[in-house]
Amino acid sequence: MQKVILLGATSNISKYLIPMLLKETDSEITLFARNAQKRLTDYNENSRITIINGNWNELSDLDSAIKGQDIVYLATGHFIDANKNVIQAMKNNQVQRLIVAGGLGIYDEVAGKFGQWNARMMGDYTGIKKAAAVIDESKLDYTFLRMSWLYNQDNNYRYEVIPQGQPMKGTQVTRQAVAKLITDMVIDPELYKAQSIGVVEPNTEWDKPSFY
């Protein structure tokens, strides 16, 4: 039985990921967030779930929460110091498998008119690129998800994985599909290990996402 911790368990993707993990896996799940016990009351009585109030800017919080885990999911990879703390806590506790939800464009890989639109919308990427580099250089068994523009659509679990080095043209992907991909990796931790992957919805190669 896998032990999985969600760092940032109140995130928009976690909203879909938690029930999916409960349904499709037998994992023991730890939910870690600021004021988690007040914000995640739906799971207070679930025997497979442990809820921890914590701050990923505090290494001591992460150290105690990550101890004994098999897989760490980090709800955003955009913060340099938080990434460093997570990596240090994982190394302190000999935990290797990390899944990070990040954004597209960190390798200037977004192509065509969509790439131009994305650059205008996102602005300065300097900090985000530095944060992603912390993960790249971690020597952990990480998967960095370079997700296209996110939206919600019930029962839309379609995703396509774009390997690093290939241009990203798909403009959008649902949070439900990203939750499905993460669940697939929890079921098979070898899936996309040690890779930075683009995540898009198939057949969305437009100038910008449909909801803009």
Q: Round to whole Å and give the CA distance between 4 and 98.
A: 10
At 101 the pLDDT is 98
Do the domain assignments include residue 212?
A: no
Domain count within the chain: 1
At 1 the pLDDT is 86
**What are the backbone dihedrals phi and psi of residue 164, each rounded to the nearest 5 degrees, phi first?**
-60, 140
Which structural domain, as residue segments, surrounds residue 36? 3-200
Angle at CA 26, nearest 5°, toward 20 and 31? 60
Do the domain assignments include residue 28?
A: yes
Q: Concatenate the DSSP letters of all residues of 6-75 into one string.
A: EETTTSTTHHHHHHHHHHH---EEEEEETTHHHH-GGGTT-TTEEEEE--TT-HHHHHHHHTT-SEEEES
What is the SS3 assignment for 103-168?
Answer: ECCCCCCECHHHHHHHHHHHCCCHHHHHHHHHHHCCCCEEEEEEECEEECCCCCCCCEEECCCCCE
Q: Which two tokens stand for residue 118?
A: 């994305």
Do the domain assignments include residue 121?
A: yes
Do the domain assignments include residue 11?
A: yes
Q: How many CB atoms lie within 10 A of CB 189?
A: 17
Give me the tens of pLDDT residue by residue for the chain, a chain 212 residues long.
Answer: 899 999 999 999 999 999 999 999 999 999 999 999 999 999 999 999 999 999 999 999 999 999 999 999 999 999 999 999 999 999 999 999 999 999 999 999 998 999 999 999 999 989 999 999 999 999 999 999 999 999 999 999 999 999 999 999 999 999 999 999 999 999 999 999 999 999 999 999 999 999 99
At 170 the pLDDT is 97
Do the domain assignments include residue 207?
A: no
What type of residue is 98? L
Q: For 7-51, how does the pLDDT look when each residue is reduced to its tens digit (9 = 90+)?
A: 999 999 999 999 999 999 999 999 999 999 999 999 999 999 999
Which residues lie below 8 Å from residue 158, measured CB to CB, with a gap of 6+?
Answer: 174, 177, 201, 202
Do the domain assignments include residue 206?
A: no
Q: Which two tokens stand for residue 23?
A: 């349904």
What type of residue is 192? Y
Q: Round to whole Å and give the CA distance between 108 and 105.
A: 5
Kindly report the pTM of this predicted structure. 0.97
Which residue is it, tokens 């599909």? 177
CATH number of residue 32's parent domain: 3.40.50.720
At 91 the pLDDT is 98
At 85 the pLDDT is 98
Do the domain assignments include residue 72?
A: yes
Do the domain assignments include residue 144?
A: yes
